[in-house]
Amino acid sequence: MPEFSSSQPKRVEFFTFNGHDYTTLEKVPKAIALQVLEEIRKVGYEAVLPVMFEKVLGEADYQRFLTDVGQIEDENYDWIQAEIEAKVMGAVEGLGEGSRAGGKKSAGS
């Protein structure tokens, strides 16, 4: 039986606002992509945006962002949201890649 371990995803600088450096996941893990897909299934895409923000920014930066968001100009907010969505949806698109690209086969294959 295989034994798996876990590691913390790497975080990288994302943007600075009011002297605070926000970080983001360098790469969104497939597990987070799956969690986001499940939330989209339950509540719809627009309602899941806060989940995406929290998963990618991390809980502390997300809470700080909620405090700062009223001061962030719309075009800057739009850029932040687009970057977060691109990271998450890129990971969502990659969910099936292991099986399509010659990865491990399921028990029924």
Q: What pLDDT does 6 receive?
A: 77
* Residue 16 per-residue DSSP state: E
30 close to 38: Cβ distance less than 8 angstroms: no
3-state secondary structure of 80: helix
Instruction: Give percent of the chain above pLDDT 70.
Output: 89
Residue 102 has pLDDT above 70, yes or no: no
Residue 109 has pLDDT above 70, yes or no: no
Q: What pLDDT does 105 receive?
A: 44
Higher pLDDT, 101 or 58: 58
Ranges of each domain in the chain: 11-95
pTM of the full structure? 0.79
Mean pLDDT of all residues in the chain? 87
